[in-house]
Structure formats: C-alpha cells, structure tokens
C-alpha cells in the first residue's frame, strides 16, 4: 500500500462530496436541526427498569417494599449493600437504587418520619422521568397497607429524598440529543461511504480506477478515511454548537476521548457502508438494504430502549453491532465523565468489530472489482 495513493484518492472523495449539494444539505441537517428536534421530542416510558435496593432495616416492612417491585414496570430488585450502590450506579447497571435506612419500621411506628433515599440514573431519561413517581407511589402504598392507614394525599408519612444522578434537571433534551447524535453518526457514515462507491460505479469512474496503479485496499481505505473525517468533524461541531450551545448540556467527560471512540465507531460503520454497497447494484437497492441494517442498529443498540428490556438472545446478537458499544461509550463519557480506564472494553470491541467488517468488506470489494475487470 502507498500512503500517497490513499491520501490522493481520499482528497478526490472529498472534492466529489463538495460538488454534491444534496449530500451537504443532508449532513448539515442531520447534525443540527435533526438533533435539536429529536432532543425536544423524547417519549416517557417505564418498562423493566433495573432497580437495586439496600435493605439496612431487614424488617417485615422493608421486605414488603422490596416485594412490591416486579415486572413489567421494574426488573426483580437486586439486593446489595451500601458500598456497592454508587459503584453499580456509576457502571450503569441500575436505573434506580433505593436505600432503606436502619430502624426504618421502628421509627415509623414510633411516629417519626424516616427518610428513604432514592438514587436515579437520569441518563436513562425515558425511565427516570416517570420512574421516580412510580417508586414513591409504591413505597407510600406499601407503608399505608402495612400500617393499615390510608395514604395521605400530601405523602407526609415518609420523606423520599431524590437524587437524580448525571442529569439533575431530568432534562429530556440532554438524553434525546445524544441518542440522536449517535444514530446520525451511524446513518451518515454508512450513507456517505456506500453512496461514494455506488456513484463511482454508476458514473463509470470505477473502471478508470482499475487501470490506475492502485489496489482495492487503497481505494477502500481512501473512501473510509475521507467520509469518516467528514462525519467526525460534523460530530465535533454538533457536540459544541448544538449540545453545549443550544441545548445547554454539560459535558462531564473528555471530548477528545469521545471523539476517539467516535473514530473507532466510524471505522466499523464506514466499512459496513462499503459492504452494503458491494451487495447493492443501484442506489434504490442500497436504500432498501440500509433500512434492513439501520433499524435494528438504532432500535436494539440500547439507546432509546434499555438493553434490560430486550430478550436475552437479542442482547447477545447485538453485541456484534458497533452501535451497542458506542452507546455505552457515549453515555459513560458524556454523562458520567468516565475515563479510558472505564470505557476501554468498548474501545477494544469497536476496534475488533471494525477490523472484522473491514476485512470482509475488502474481500467483497475485491470480488466486485474482479467482476468489472
């Protein structure tokens, strides 16, 4: 491989993109208005929300409260100790963590007002926004039934101290904006690389490349780095202008680390775009194949729908999708301020998936070129 060939061919791809106003408008829209609109229109649902409970009281009342959380609204509660609560929340394992203090039942029967602490992972906005009200209602109901007294309308039997972690304002836009950004990174990277290859075939310029002293690896590598660079720059601009600017979202972690993870994700998705383009014979066929690929990637990645709500088989299959790891990486860095010591498994997974996609796409690309020559 000659680096100069890859560089010159990549510059050629960038020039072709600049002469395509439709693609430029699509890129501009996808990383500006589309993200802003999606960020302000996120649904509010509660289904199989993971919850952990610290039972420091170990009384009949605390056991009754634990038993009141069950599917389909909540996952079966995980009983943990106090030291594991913050660690599990930081790792993204629990959406809710309920802490029942010592002597809770005793203080309640004595006429005091004990406090139950509820920690919420507010990055899972669709669950956190409505879930805190459900948790409070369940706790009040079980206390009233246990004491054989009606629940008061103002809920003054027990004080529930709420702490919304990572999204203290419970702002839907902060969650929806990041998820839309992730979806559009995947969408544009596949479209740009696939369309670049199909455009070469439809215009007949792929035959010109075959008579030049360049290899299929160089052609494919050039398309990947050029289109990935465009999407990466658009992502960085959207992160600063839309997320931090218009949506006023605080970025807790390193933008550089997030963009490095985005680059690895683009390595996998641009290679996937080449693969789809080798399977399609025209742009309409490419669009149909895109629908079959993009919908599972976006819906089952764990962004809009938590992975805990999915069947086990689907969760295992989606581990082979780059989106699954990119969603975890993006949420960990942007919301929780995670460093490379926490997100390195996702970085490694994206690199391995990218290598596999690149290798298979290169084999398919070579086969396609041999059929044209």
Tell me the pLDDT tens digit for each residue of 185-216.
Answer: 999 999 999 888 888 777 767 767 667 778 88
Average pLDDT on 282-307 reads: 85
Helix (H, G, I), strand (E, B) or coil at 101: coil
Q: Which domains does the chain have, with CATH numbers?
A: 3-30+172-372 (no CATH), 51-165 (3.40.1710.10)
Q: Are 97 and 85 in contact (CB under 8 A)?
A: yes
Q: Which two tokens stand for residue 208?
A: 């010109």
| pLDDT attached to residue 153 | 46
pLDDT digits (tens, 9 = 90+) for 87-117: 898 888 898 999 999 999 998 888 888 889 9
255 Cβ contact partners less than 8 Å away, ≥ 6 residues apart = 236, 239
Residue 113: how many other CB atoms lie within 10 Å? 10
Position 136 confidence tier, pLDDT thresholds 50, 70, 90: confident
Q: Are 227 and 24 in contact (CB under 8 A)?
A: no
Q: What's the pTM?
A: 0.71
State how far the Cα of 155 lies from the Cα of 142, in Å rounded to an integer: 12
Residue 138: how many other CB atoms lie within 10 Å? 16
| pLDDT attached to residue 227 | 92
Cα–chain-centroid distance for residue 291? Answer: 19
State how far the Cα of 124 lies from the Cα of 130, in Å rounded to an integer: 11
| pLDDT attached to residue 271 | 93
> What is the average pLDDT value for the chain, to the nearest integer?
86
pLDDT digits (tens, 9 = 90+) for 145-192: 888 755 444 545 566 777 777 777 666 777 778 888 999 999 999 999
Asked whether the CA dihedral 178, 182, 187, 189 is positive or negative, the reply is positive
């Amino acid at each position: 491989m000659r680096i100069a060939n890859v560089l010159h061919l990549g510059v050629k791809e960038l020039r072709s993109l600049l002469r395509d106003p439709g693609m430029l408008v699509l890129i501009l829209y996808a990383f500006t208005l589309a993200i802003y609109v999606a960020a302000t229109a996120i649904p509010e649902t509660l289904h199989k929300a993971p919850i952990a409970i610290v039972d420091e009281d170990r009384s009949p009342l605390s056991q009754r409260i634990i038993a009141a959380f069950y599917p389909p609204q909540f996952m079966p509660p995980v009983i943990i100790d106090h030291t594991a609560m913050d660690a599990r929340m930081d790792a993204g394992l629990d959406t809710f963590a309920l802490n029942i203090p010592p002597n809770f039942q005793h203080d309640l029967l004595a006429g005091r007002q004990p406090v139950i602490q509820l920690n919420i992972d507010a990055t899972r906005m669709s669950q956190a926004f409505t879930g805190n009200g459900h948790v409070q209602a369940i706790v009040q109901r079980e206390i009233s039934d246990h004491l054989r007294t009606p629940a008061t309308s103002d809920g003054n039997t027990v004080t529930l101290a709420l702490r919304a972690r990572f999204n203290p304002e419970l702002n839907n836009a902060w969650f929806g904006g990041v998820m839309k950004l992730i979806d559009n990174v995947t969408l544009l990277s596949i479209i740009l690389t696939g369309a670049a290859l199909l455009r070469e075939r439809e215009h007949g310029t792929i035959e010109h490349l075959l008579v030049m002293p360049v290899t299929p690896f160089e052609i494919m590598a050039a398309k990947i780095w050029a289109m990935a660079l465009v999407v990466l720059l658009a992502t960085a601009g959207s992160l600063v202008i839309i997320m931090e600017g218009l949506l006023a979202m605080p970025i807790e972690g390193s933008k550089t680390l997030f963009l490095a993870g985005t680059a690895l994700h683009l390595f996998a998705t641009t290679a996937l775009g080449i693969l789809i383009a080798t399977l399609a014979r025209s742009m309409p066929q490419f669009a149909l194949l895109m629908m079959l690929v993009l919908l599972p990637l976006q819906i089952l990645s764990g962004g809009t729908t938590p992975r805990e709500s999915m069947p086990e088989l689907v969760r295992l299959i989606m581990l082979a999708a780059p989106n699954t790891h990119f969603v975890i990486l993006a949420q960990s860095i942007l919301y929780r301020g995670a460093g490379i010591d926490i997100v390195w498994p996702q970085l490694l997974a994206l690199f391995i998936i990218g290598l596999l996609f690149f290798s298979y796409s290169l084999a398919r690309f070579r086969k396609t070129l041999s059929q044209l020559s």
